[in-house]
Structure 1
Amino acid sequence: MKIKNSHIIKNLVTAIVVTLFFSCNNDFSEVQKIGVLQNQPIGEAENIDLKYTEFKEDTVRLVANLISPKMLDYSNRNFAFNEFPDGVVLYVFDDKKNKTTITSNYAIVYSETDIIDLRGNVQIATHEKDTLFTEQLYYNQKLEWLFTNEPWLFGSLHGIGFDSDKEFKNFKMLEMGGEFQIDN
């Protein structure tokens, strides 16, 4: 009886394996399409107008307002990020409701590291009418720290590379002077 049962089980397993083997029929072009889809954004948004608020002591305060024509969401990647291929305008408000305006032609926000990478005609205009110009600027949201290795212009100062807190009170230049052109 044992020999008969083992023979039935072998035949059943063989039939399942053969069925699985012949049912697999992948077209290489279909496999390639799957790879392309994994590189596509998981979501797209147009005409974004996001408002970030803070709730303190029974009061709601507007902290920032992000405006962008387009956002691509790549949170499906191992190193998740949001891309703003058509640029951003960001208004940041301090506790006294003073507004700082940040603009760039392109931006990426990395979710895991809280780093914002601003590129192309980056400008930061403070409420005190001071304006920083550069072609690329990084902002660490956790540390509230700005940095670049690119040429920059801030008021009458210009140089190549700097590190600073968000209020430009702890400002360190990497190199004073250098050539700088503002694109129109």
Structure 2
Amino acid sequence: MRKHISYNIFNIVTIFIVTMFFSCNDSFKQVQKIGISENEPIGVDHNVNLKYTDSGRVSANLISTKVLDYTNRDFPFRQFTDGVTLYIYDKDNKKSTVQADNAFVYDNTNLIDMQDNVVITTHDNQVLKTEQLFYNTTKEWLSTNKPVSFKTKTDLINGNGFDSNSEFSNAEVLEVTGIITLED
């Protein structure tokens, strides 16, 4: 009888241990999230001034007053809430400027979503204005399907949509709604 009770206790303990072992599959990630609401940023940066260098030369300078870090989410991103200014310098140190009231940087997709009062001024004074513009950092491609105003050296072109490489060497306004020729 004593062997039978010991055998039953051994079986119960074994079942209990096996159950605990298989139930602890993702508890570490859950413990990390304790105290962090998924609706809140994991961090907030103020007065950001980042300089990107390439071979010892400053290639870009990003300035923003507030950045919210949501990289703790399943689809991680950073949000520039109080405006962002990006100065981009080419090989000849000529400066182009990108400004927006809001911007979202999605690292998993290599996509930047600029929103609200987006203005790009190139080093040769071409100016693009729109309410939303996407930049694919992998393909170095700009695009939008929102209304745009694009000022070149000779024309002011309005339309619905825009596509271009990052150098504006093949900039195209889509669905042109009007062209005004500028005088010198």
**TM-score bucket (shorter structure):** 0.7 to 0.9
| Separation in structure 2 between the aligned mates of residue 8 and residue 152 of structure 1, nearest angstrom | 75
Counterpart of 2:182 in structure 1 is none
Between the two proteins, the alignment pairs up a number of residues equal to 159
| Separation in structure 2 between the aligned mates of residue 113 and residue 12 of structure 1, nearest angstrom | 48
Counterpart of 2:76 in structure 1 is 80
2:90 to 91, 94, 114: 94
| Separation in structure 1 between the aligned mates of residue 125 and residue 173 of structure 2, nearest angstrom | 21
Gaps of 5+ in 1: 17-32, 179-184
Counterpart of 1:62 in structure 2 is 58
Identity of aligned residues (%): 47
| Separation in structure 1 between the aligned mates of residue 157 and residue 100 of structure 2, nearest angstrom | 21
Q: Structure 1 residue 173: deviation in Å?
A: 2.8
Counterpart of 1:119 in structure 2 is 115
1:144 to 136, 140, 155: 140
Dislocated runs of 4+, deviation >6 Å = 10-13
Is residue 2:132 matched to residue 1:131? Answer: no
Counterpart of 1:5 in structure 2 is 6
SS of equivalent to 2:38: helix
Q: 2:150–2:173: 8 Å Cα contact kept in structure 1?
A: no
For residue 6 of structure 2, what is the amino acid of its counterpart? N
Q: Structure 1 residue 168: deviation in Å?
A: 1.6
SS of equivalent to 1:39: coil
| Separation in structure 2 between the aligned mates of residue 167 and residue 12 of structure 1, nearest angstrom | 68
Task: Summarize the Cα distance change of 1:12–1:50 in structure 2 as closer, same or farther, 3 Å threshold.
Answer: same
For residue 162 of structure 1, what is the amino acid of its counterpart? F
Is residue 2:132 matched to residue 1:157? Answer: no
Could you give the per-residue CA deviations for residues 59-106 of structure 1, whole angstroms, max 9, x where no partner exists? x01011000011111111111111011110000000000000100000
| Separation in structure 1 between the aligned mates of residue 116 and residue 107 of structure 2, nearest angstrom | 21
Q: 2:111–2:135: 8 Å Cα contact kept in structure 1?
A: yes
| Separation in structure 2 between the aligned mates of residue 71 and residue 3 of structure 1, nearest angstrom | 66
Q: 2:148–2:173: 8 Å Cα contact kept in structure 1?
A: no
SS of equivalent to 1:37: coil
Counterpart of 1:108 in structure 2 is 104
| Separation in structure 2 between the aligned mates of residue 88 and residue 64 of structure 1, nearest angstrom | 13
Is residue 2:49 matched to residue 1:53? Answer: no
Q: Structure 1 residue 115: deviation in Å?
A: 0.7
Q: Structure 1 residue 39: deviation in Å?
A: 2.3
